[in-house]
Amino acid sequence: MTDRPVLAPRSVDITRANAARIYDCLLGGSHNFAVDREAARDALRHLPGARAIARANRAVLQRAVRFALELGITQFLDIGSGIPTFGSTHEVVRAGQSRARVVYVDNDPVAVAHGRAALADDPHTSVAAADLRDPVGLLRDREVRRLDFARPVALLLVAVVHFLSDADRPAEVIAALRDALAPGSVLVLTHATLDHGPAPEGQRAVQDVYARTPTPLVMRSRAELRPFFAGFDLVEPGIVSLPHWRPPEPDEPFDRATLHGLAGAGVKP
């Protein structure tokens, strides 16, 4: 019999890995189960750069949040946020704007439960239990409605859209969210890709790891990502590999595995 960790609600299947908790493990977090750690080990065994990719995604998130703050945005909707561990949106926001509103959204009960517990003393941050695949329901969520959609919002879709299949109609999902945003809002999106050459050795095995979760990993090209930015004006440098999206130093070294992630941001006119 598998012992149930204290952090696991009864409704959570602790025998099946979850993408949010695998990501938490790759980032060095502790809010994951044995099955998630085994999946992360499998990913790293086949693709040692998997941890570098996770950290590059987190670094883009942080740079994008600072970019939005520079535009004067004080509201952040982070969908598919996973477990708010170190370096998350609210931590970056608080360093630049102490009273900005942050709403995290995830469909994993563990991510939601732990986020709510960890952020209970932060009156400007909340966590919603909702699913990106249901944008109408997501926008009606009580926590999401704490945001003032008459003012600009930074919509953060970092390392989440690649868990939507084509059948989930990701472009339509994003368009529904876009239509709820005020002019001046920002979309930030990162996504797994094979644009920069053949899959690194072990990539197929990593996809097989995620195939064991409820959200298999879908690779898309830069061209396939462009429709997701319909209705937004792409900002420089456009849709580029993770380490090339507004790096702090132009010649900063990077792990080549991170080229298998794309990042882009757009402003709603």
Question: From CA 262, how far away is CA 258, in angstroms rounded?
Answer: 9
122-150: b (≥16 Cβ within 10 Å) or e: eebbbbbbbbbbebeebbebebbeebeee
Report strand pairing: 186-192 vs 261-267.
Answer: antiparallel
pLDDT above 90 for 45: no
pLDDT single digits (tens) 219-247:
899 999 999 999 999 999 999 999 999 99
Query: Residue for token digits 């090339």?
Result: 244
DSSP symbol at 197? S
Residue 157's DSSP bridge partners are 189
User: What is the average pLDDT value for the chain, to the nearest integer?
Assistant: 86
Question: From CA 56, how far away is CA 62, in angstroms rounded?
Answer: 10
Per-domain residue ranges for the chain? 59-201+221-267
Residue (of 58, 63, 87) closest to 248 by Cα position: 63
Which range, of 16-25, 49-58, 105-114, 158-167, averages the lowest pLDDT? 16-25
pLDDT score at 21: 78
Residue 104's DSSP bridge partners are 78, 127
Share of the chain above pLDDT 90, in %: 54
Question: From CA 127, how far away is CA 28, in angstroms rounded?
Answer: 21
3-state class percentages of the chain: helix first, strand second, coil last, to nearest 5 = 40, 15, 45
**pLDDT-derived band of residue 12, with 50, 70 and 90 as boundaries?**
low
Query: Residue for token digits 């992630």?
Result: 261
pLDDT score at 230: 98
Which range, of 55-64, 66-75, 80-89, 237-246, averages the lowest pLDDT? 80-89
pLDDT score at 209: 52
Number of Cβ atoms within 10 Å of the Cβ of 262: 26
The amino acid present at 86, given as its one-letter code, is F
Which range, of 49-53, 106-110, 186-190, averages the lowest pLDDT? 49-53
Residue (of 17, 28, 15) closest to 216 by Cα position: 17
Fold of 59-201+221-267: Rossmann fold (3.40.50)
